[in-house]
Structure 1
Amino acid sequence: MRRITRALGAALLLAAAADGMAEDQFKLLVLAMPGKYHYEYIPIARDSLERMAKLHAFELTYTNKPQVFEGDLTQYAAVMFLNTPGEELNAAQRAKFEAYMRGGGNAIVVHRAAITPPNDWVWYEKMVGRSVGPHPKLQTGVVTVVDQNFPATFGLPARWIWSDEFYVTTNPYQVKIDTVLSVDESSYDTTKIWPGQTVKGMGKDHPIAWHHRHEQGRVFVTTLGHNGEMYRDPQYLNHLLGGIYWSATGLGQKR
């Protein structure tokens, strides 16, 4: 019995040592602040992203405090604005983030984070790559893969039935983006919107996820991710993981 106990103890020590020697591949900062229409997602997304980080061996800092931008951002391979737009940062925090991107930092922008008041922070608008206007109510539509060689589309079907707010965007600063996902406007009612607002569709060219370069960094934007339950959906999480992986490492994109 003593031999078995000793052997078991040795095995546990070896396992603990091996686990202790494991190193995270990169570090990700996620800013997730509650808003008027986006708050229930926060604990769900945190749980899913923490599981993702453990599974894929990266370190996660998940916070609702914009003061984190006053610290050392260079430790992070990428910064994610999760349903939290740049307008939440004050002038000093914005300056720190701009310096981070100029130094080769990378960004991920998710859903509500793509919406920012016009001319409030033009640099951020350019980083997002598109400006969001009025958008239809949450509806079921058909998302189409535009770039099957980009990691955020791996595992998605060519035509994916998804329910979300399909943002209508404009390009006032003529920023070049590479579209990752589009939405088929014939699959939902583009005019179905909140009372007192009007909206038109964008036609065949309606990007809802894209990537591009800004300053010296990589930027991945997905306008999908409106409600909390989406952050439990395996296909959506794979989409998000692909954007995180590419943003943080620059790898995985087939040429």
Structure 2
Amino acid sequence: MTRILVFSKTAGYRHDSIPAGVAAIAELAARAGLEAVATEDAAAFTAGELAHHRAVVFLSNTGEVLDDDQRAALRAFVDAGGGFAGVHAASNAEPDWPFFGELVGARFDRHPELQPATVAVADAGHPATAHLGPAWTLTDEWYDFLDDPTPRVRMLLTADEAGYTGARMGLGAAHPVAWCHQVGAANAFYTSLGHTEEVYADDAFRAHLIGGITWAARV
């Protein structure tokens, strides 16, 4: 069976939703004909181990979670076409590694308080968004990023900053929420959604999540 590696090690803030995320990805992956191998052990990042996986999912990681050799193994995996999916706080991992910022697409800056907002589908032709209507309302953390990734990615979901309080990017209706892009030979997907345990039981979010992961894994 085709495998994906789900990596949830943290070296900073740890989200209570990580176990729910791991369980949801395992269930959704199995339905898609994939085996999700979950670990918090960075020793899995070797060339030999990563060769057994089609994609790597970084799930709400924070801080420095890989050493230099493990970083090199991940980069070689991506350079060879291995897929990458980042979920929620993954944009706050490996802050001192420029390549990881390129892989995710943008770096986390801050977020306002947890609150509902409505996201708009910027691209309905992607497996992570094809199931959604034009707008989708949910409660989550609405991340601000250090810069706007829009010029360098394929934007999938956006939010209107006028529809919630505390946004500081000044992007109006084009606030980035989820996107995908190519990094070398790899498919890379990122969604900033996924803060709460409850969202991993939401059918729309679950379809968004597995759509991004399967696209990254090319299955």
TM-score by length of 2: 0.91
For residues 205-251 of structure 1, the C-alpha deviation after alignment (integer angstroms, 9 at most, x for no partner) is 211100001121010000000122211111111000110111111x6
- 79-88 vs 237-246, greater mean Cα deviation: 79-88
Out of 122, 126, 135, the residue aligned to residue 146 of structure 1 is 122
Gaps of 5+ in 2: none
What does residue 55 of structure 2 align with? Answer: 78
* Distance in 2 separating the partners of 1:106 and 1:59: 15
What does residue 37 of structure 2 align with? Answer: 61
Percentage identity across paired residues of the two chains: 33
What does residue 177 of structure 2 align with? Answer: 208
What does residue 245 of structure 1 align with? Answer: 214
* Distance in 2 separating the partners of 1:93 and 1:135: 29
Report the alpha carbon displacement of residue 173 of structure 1 after superposing the two structures with TM: 9.0
Gaps of 5+ in 1: 1-23, 192-198
Where is the strand percentage greater, Structure 1 or Structure 2?
Answer: 2
* Distance in 2 separating the partners of 1:236 and 1:174: 22
* Distance in 2 separating the partners of 1:86 and 1:72: 23
Out of 159, 166, 185, the residue aligned to residue 190 of structure 1 is 166
Larger Cα-atom Rg: 1
Residues 92 and 117 of structure 1, relative CA distance in 2, 3 Å threshold? closer
Where is the helix percentage greater, Structure 1 or Structure 2?
Answer: 1
2:66 is the alignment partner of 1:97: no
2:200 is the alignment partner of 1:231: yes
SS at match of 1:190: coil
* Distance in 1 separating the partners of 2:189 and 2:171: 21
Aligned 8 A contact 1:28 1:59 in 2 = yes
Residues 143 and 51 of structure 1, relative CA distance in 2, 3 Å threshold? same
Aligned 8 A contact 2:42 2:65 in 1 = yes
2:19 is the alignment partner of 1:43: yes
* Distance in 1 separating the partners of 2:163 and 2:15: 28
Out of 172, 179, 184, the residue aligned to residue 155 of structure 2 is 179
TM-score by length of 1: 0.79
Report the alpha carbon displacement of residue 99 of structure 1 after superposing the two structures with TM: 0.8
